[in-house]
Every structure is written in C-alpha cells, then in structure tokens.
A and B are shown apart, each in its own frame.
Chain A
Amino acid sequence: DAGVTQSPTHLIKTRGQQVTLRCSPKSGHDTVSWYQQALGQGPQFIFQYYEEEERQRGNFPDRFSGHQFPNYSSELNVNALLLGDSALYLCASSLRGQLYEQYFGPGTRLTVT
C-alpha cells in the first residue's frame, strides 16, 4: 500500500518564476492538505482540498493556489516566487470523516534564488 507521494523531491527556482508541486494521497484517502515548513519551524497550513474544491485556507496570499483532480491527487501552484517561499512543502492526506488521522508525504524542498 503506497503512502503519500510527492514530486519533485527538490526544486530550485528563481525569484518571479512559477512552480507546481504534486501530491498523490494514500490509497483510499480523499482529502489533501498542504503545509509550508520553513527551516527550523513547524508546518504552516496552506489549504485543504476535498471533492476537488478548496475547503479551508490558512493565512497565505493568493499567489498560492491549488487543484484537486478526480483521482484525489493534488497540485500546489505558487506564482511570482519570493525568496521567502523557500521551504519544505508537505502534503498530507486523510479520509474526509477522519481528518484527525493525517498521513504526510516526505515533502518537496523548494529553494528560491
């Protein structure tokens, strides 16, 4: 049983560029949440997707957007990258009725230069 997978593992971008990160949830899960973890900090909630719609959103600007596909996989898009967007981006999946049981992927390390 595959767990949560994320791609790519590492990414280097330049300020002002756009980036897309991808997440495949654990088999059987239908809800995906995205988090930003800056170096030495705890994860910060970005948003959550269920039934292909954004259901919850944290305190992040509109430059951060997402999408969920019919197979429950998800993308995180960040436009107009800033140096401060450099972080580990974590995806977590869960069942809609069991949101306390989140399974995290290994993350995508984004470096903005």
Chain B
Amino acid sequence: GDSVTQMEGPVTLSEEAFLTINCTYTATGYPSLFWYVQYPGEGLQLLLKATKADDKGSNKGFEATYRKETTSFHLEKGSVQVSDSAVYFCALIGRTGGFKTIFGAGTRLFVKA
C-alpha cells in the first residue's frame, strides 16, 4: 500500500540556519503530496501542497518540490526562526483507494535562539 517515510528527528538548529527535512513516498501512480505542521498543543495545519510532478509548494518561507524521479518531497526553509519549532508531517493522498491521507511519522524541529 501507499506509504510515506520521513527523516527521524529531532532536528535541532540555530536561528537563521537552513532547514531540510527529507520525505520519500511509495504510491501507485502520482499522488498529491502535502506538508503539515503541528505546533505544541494544537491540531495539524496544512503548510503546503503539490498535486503533480515538478510542482513546487510554498508557504511562510517553506518550500517543497514534487520529484517523481526520486519519489521525494523534501521540505526546505532558508532561514528558520524559533517560532518554527514544531512537528512536521509529510503526507500523501493516493490516486487509488479513495481520498485517505497517509502520513509519515513526523519530524520534530527545535530551533534555538
């Protein structure tokens, strides 16, 4: 079945450092891909999405490019802030099996001032 694998955390960075969180997927056909963020004590928020190959999703300085050749959707940000500390989830909705969202295990990010 469809699955998402993302890098294990926690990831600890200093403020203004460059962020990359790796995400790869397995799916039949070409799924839609998402990054969600979960701040402490809150529900998940959609951060960005890409629905077809080579699309780039972007929001709040975060970016991710849908790479079908490498089945990847890595999250990047050029300069992180303390307020970016959260858990980040990579997810997909496949083309088969209905509109079930499949999530990765999450990567916790700590940003130090």
Contact = CB atoms under 8 A, between A and B. Distances in A.
Do A and B make up one complex? yes
B44 A33 contact: no
A45 B106 contact: no
Nearest to A4: B43
Interface residues of A, number: 24
A90 to B, nearest CB: 6
Interface string B25-51: 000000010101000011111100101
Nearest to B44: A104
B44 A45 contact: no
Interface of B is mostly: strand
Interface residues of B, number: 25
Given A90-B43, A100-B32, A104-B43, A58 B106 contact: no
A101 B97 CA distance: 18
Interface in B59-113: 89, 91, 93, 97-106
Interface stretch (A14-22, A36-44, A61-69, A72-80): A36-44
Interface in A38-60: 40-45, 48, 55-56, 58
B101 A56 contact: no
A56 B45 CA distance: 22
A41 B106 contact: yes
B101 to A, nearest CB: 6
Contact of A56 (B34, B42, B44, B99): B99
Interface string A87-104: 000101000000111111
Interface of B: 4, 32, 34, 36, 41-46, 49, 51, 89, 91, 93, 97-106
Interface of A: 4, 33, 35, 40-45, 48, 55-56, 58, 90, 92, 99-107
8 contacts: A4-B43, A41-B106, A42-B89, A42-B106, A43-B44, A48-B98, A92-B101, A106-B43
